[in-house]
């Protein structure tokens, strides 16, 4: 198992100035010595041109969706360090146990772990840290500004994973292209049946993201677009919330959604046991559903395409009588993760439970 050597800030302060200078020079030296093929320069999701070595072997996953993306491409064994999280089914991958976790990236950890490439958020301070360590850092996640329409949302989702493929090499790129084709196929399948639905036949829906009942996702997110494709009307699309955000209790009561999806393994009791919401149609009609979650939560990342299928089957069972959700989950995990899920695991996953059979947030909120 890989073990990292970390110097915390207190240890660094105790080092003589000459040794601190050595680390900074080593960082600069590493950057200068690293052989970069200028033909392997790619534009990341922040429109930055970043050059990378021929085949990077040691990856830092700063972006929370990086682990799932790497696993989808069959490249999770290259991850050396990652942002700390504990999503429901990530332990299906045996490589996860060997990955060092961090709360925030540090120069010392990157140098000690000899990181080649990182997939990151557009945080200027973190990007500077990666630059000082000589690490090729790619802003990899599709941003909320991408999703101004159905077309731009899908393009952004595919471009994000295709960026991983370009950086990681031909084998990863082939799998990224396979995943993009799979998404197109599933969207065509679902929208061919929901496109003609009148507004009256599209039940109003609300996504309860947690950790409280009024935290949700807006109109430029996976939950919004995949739910729209599935034939529901996500009520937060009428608000100013674009990414993750909060609404008021009065707003939720005014919307009075017909269906509520509770995500991130939070309990449905966040809504059902709150006296403010006992008159909501979704509560009165028992239409409050725990959302499934897998290697990552279904409100983000490559696996969220399954959210669209689940919502379609949930709100339009008559339109999707032929949709076999267990088979779809089994197919996805086999095709993209190389994992064969048994019947019991699939039932648990679709019921919104973790690998141990519980529905409980253990770390990530």
Tokens of 81: 């360090």
Q: What is the pLDDT of residue 363?
A: 53
Q: Is 2.60.120.380 the CATH classification of the domain at 200-350?
A: no
Equal CATH topology for 30-164 and 200-350:
yes
Q: What is the pLDDT of residue 365?
A: 54
Cα(22)–Cα(29) distance, integer angstroms = 10
Cα(248)–Cα(194) distance, integer angstroms = 30
What single-letter DSSP state applies at residue 334?
I
Residue 310 near residue 292, CB atoms below 8 Å = yes
Q: If you write DSSP's letter for every residue of 121-140 in order, what string do you get?
A: -S-HHHHHHHHHTT-EEEE-
Cα-Cα-Cα-Cα dihedral of 247, 253, 258, 260, to 10°? 40
Task: Return per-residue pLDDT of the chain as tens, 365 residues.
Answer: 333 323 333 333 333 433 333 334 333 334 434 445 556 899 999 999 999 977 778 999 999 999 999 999 999 999 999 999 888 899 999 999 999 999 988 999 999 999 999 999 999 998 999 999 999 999 998 765 678 899 999 999 999 999 999 999 999 999 999 999 999 999 999 999 999 999 999 999 999 999 999 999 998 899 999 999 999 999 998 887 888 899 999 999 999 999 999 999 999 999 999 999 999 999 999 999 999 999 999 999 999 999 999 999 999 999 999 999 999 999 999 999 999 999 999 999 999 999 988 887 755 55
Residues 6+ apart with CB under 8 A from 69: 119, 140, 160, 161, 164, 301, 302
Q: What is the pLDDT of residue 148?
A: 86
Q: Is the dihedral of CA 120, 121, 122, 123 positive or negative?
A: negative
Cα(35)–Cα(52) distance, integer angstroms = 8
Residue 102 near residue 2, CB atoms below 8 Å = no
Cα(235)–Cα(249) distance, integer angstroms = 13
The pTM score is 0.88
Residue 266 near residue 292, CB atoms below 8 Å = no
> Which residues in the chain belong to E strands, given as ranges?
41-43, 49-51, 59-61, 79-83, 100-102, 117-120, 136-139, 204-208, 215-217, 233-234, 244-246, 259-262, 288-290
Question: Domain spans of the chain?
Answer: 30-164, 200-350
CATH number of the structural domain 30-164? 3.40.50.1980
What single-letter DSSP state applies at residue 244?
E
| Tokens 């090499």 sit on residue | 169
Cα(223)–Cα(209) distance, integer angstroms = 10
Q: What is the pLDDT of residue 85?
A: 86
Residues 6+ apart with CB under 8 A from 349: 88, 89, 292, 293, 294, 329, 341
Residue 272 near residue 288, CB atoms below 8 Å = yes
Residue 138 near residue 118, CB atoms below 8 Å = yes
- 18-27: long-range contacts at Cβ-Cβ below 8 A with a sequence spacing of 24 or more? 23/107, 23/108, 23/111, 24/132, 26/111, 27/107, 27/111, 27/132, 27/133, 27/134
């Amino acid at each position: 198992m890989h073990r990292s050597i970390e110097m915390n800030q207190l240890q660094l302060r105790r080092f003589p100035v000459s040794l601190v200078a050595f680390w900074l020079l080593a960082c600069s030296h590493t950057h200068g010595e690293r052989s970069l093929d200028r033909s392997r320069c790619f534009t990341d999701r922040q429109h930055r041109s970043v050059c990378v070595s021929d085949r990077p072997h040691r990856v830092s996953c700063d972006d929370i969706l990086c682990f799932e993306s790497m696993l989808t491409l069959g490249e999770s064994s290259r991850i050396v360090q990652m942002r700390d999280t504990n999503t429901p089914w990530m332990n299906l991958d045996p490589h996860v146990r060997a990955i060092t976790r961090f709360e925030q990236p540090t120069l010392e950890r990157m140098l000690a772990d000899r990181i080649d490439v990182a997939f990151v958020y557009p945080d200027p301070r973190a990007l500077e840290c990666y630059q000082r360590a000589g690490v090729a850092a790619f802003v990899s996640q599709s941003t909320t500004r991408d999703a101004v329409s159905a077309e731009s949302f899908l393009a952004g989702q595919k471009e994000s994973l295709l960026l991983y493929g370009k950086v990681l090499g031909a084998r990863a790129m082939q799998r990224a292209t396979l995943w993009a084709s799979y998404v197109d196929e599933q969207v065509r399948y679902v929208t061919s049946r929901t496109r003609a639905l009148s507004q009256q036949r599209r039940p109003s829906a609300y996504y309860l993201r947690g950790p409280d009942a009024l935290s949700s996702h807006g109109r430029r997110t996976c939950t919004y677009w995949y739910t729209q494709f599935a034939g529901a009307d996500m009520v937060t699309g009428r608000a100013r919330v674009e990414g993750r955000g909060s609404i008021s209790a009065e707003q939720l009561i005014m919307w009075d959604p017909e269906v509520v999806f509770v995500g991130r393994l939070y309990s449905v009791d966040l809504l059902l046991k709150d006296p403010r919401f006992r008159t909501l149609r979704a509560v009165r009609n028992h239409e409050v559903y725990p959302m499934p979650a897998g290697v990552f939560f279904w409100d983000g990342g490559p696996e969220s395409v399954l959210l669209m299928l689940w919502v379609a089957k949930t709100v339009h069972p008559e339109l999707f009588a032929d949709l076999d959700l267990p088979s779809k989950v089994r197919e996805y995990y086999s095709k993209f993760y190389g994992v064969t899920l048994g019947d019991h695991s699939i039932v648990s996953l679709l019921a919104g439970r973790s690998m141990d059979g519980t529905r409980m947030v253990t770390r990530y909120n």
